[in-house]
A = this chain, B = another copy of it.
Amino acid sequence: MVGQKLYILKLGGSLLTDKQKPESIRYEILTRITQEIINTKEKLILIHGGGSFGHPLAKKYKIFDGLDRKVVDQTLGLSRTHYAMNKFNSLIIKSFLDNNFPVLPIQTSSSFIQDSRQTFSQAINIIEATLDLDIMPILYGDILLSMDGSFSIISGDQIIFLLCRDLKNYKVSKVIFAMDVDGIYIKGKKNEKDHKLAEIIHKKELNDLELVKMDRKIDVTGGIEGKIKAIETILEFEIPIQLINGLKEGYIYNSLKNYSINCTTILP
């Protein structure tokens, strides 16, 4: 089935929050991005990361590493991590509702479960029913329970992979990562300090890139290498990807409209 055209837009946690300050949201950026998304009138699934809400707690209670009885109050920490993410998500939901735009959160931790190293999405039909009603589904990095009695974290990037894999009636035509940097930087010809933005990258070139480490500016745990790994899994589905700067006004709008912007496009 070909399915209806759909975008997936991921808002990096560092775009919407100040990673130095726990539970701090950058309202002016959120408000502008909300408006840009609404203005496009495009059909999309919105995903956001944990930013300064989920990450500090997930780290404190070692949620990434799974059940560990040596970590004091770890299951309480698991609860608190989800609670923080729900709080973050609610602020984003509110931003859309304040503009009379219908959105529905899909609680990731009640929709995805892990079973012997595989993660399964159990709410694909609900996400598609939401899209059918022209309501924008919003998912987010969250805790992930496991069938074997343990748990971990599911990142926004993993959610994107699972959606690209499992959506039935919709076909993802582009995945957009909105970050706080223009895209992927590679080494220039002169010296180490010389670098330039990679504008177009083909899938087969992805592993040979001479990356410039700008981890400070990259959103996700694992830095740019982690992001590239996530990108590779999505490219399996022959879906083009854009890495764009969400701090720059109009970039999210333009990317969702397929207008030209200064960014990195990765082609399958």
A binding-site residues for B, Cβ under 8 Å: 67, 73, 75-76, 78-80, 82-83, 86-87, 90, 93-94, 97, 100-107, 109-111, 113, 122-123, 125-126, 129-130, 132-135, 145-147, 149, 151
- Judging by beta carbons under 8 Å apart, are A145 and B130 in contact? yes
A37 to chain B minimum Cβ distance, whole angstroms, is 15
Known: A79-B102, A97-B79. A151 touches B122 (CB 8 A): no
Contact of A93 among B83, B147, B149 (CB under 8 A): B83
Complex contact A82–B107 (CB within 8 A) = no
User: Do B93 and A90 have beta carbons less than 8 Å apart?
Assistant: no
Closest B residue to A134 by CB, please name it.
Answer: B75
Distance between Cα atoms of A101 and B78 in the complex (Å)? 11
Kindly list 17 other residue pairs between chains A and B, CB separation below 8 angstroms, not including A78-B135, A122-B122.
A67-B133, A73-B100, A75-B133, A76-B100, A78-B102, A78-B104, A79-B104, A79-B135, A82-B105, A83-B93, A83-B94, A86-B105, A110-B110, A111-B123, A113-B125, A122-B125, A133-B149
Report Cα–Cα, A141/B122, bound state, in Å: 20
Does A109 contact B113, Cβ atoms closer than 8 Å?
A: no
Tell me the nearest residue of chain B to A133, going by C-beta.
B75
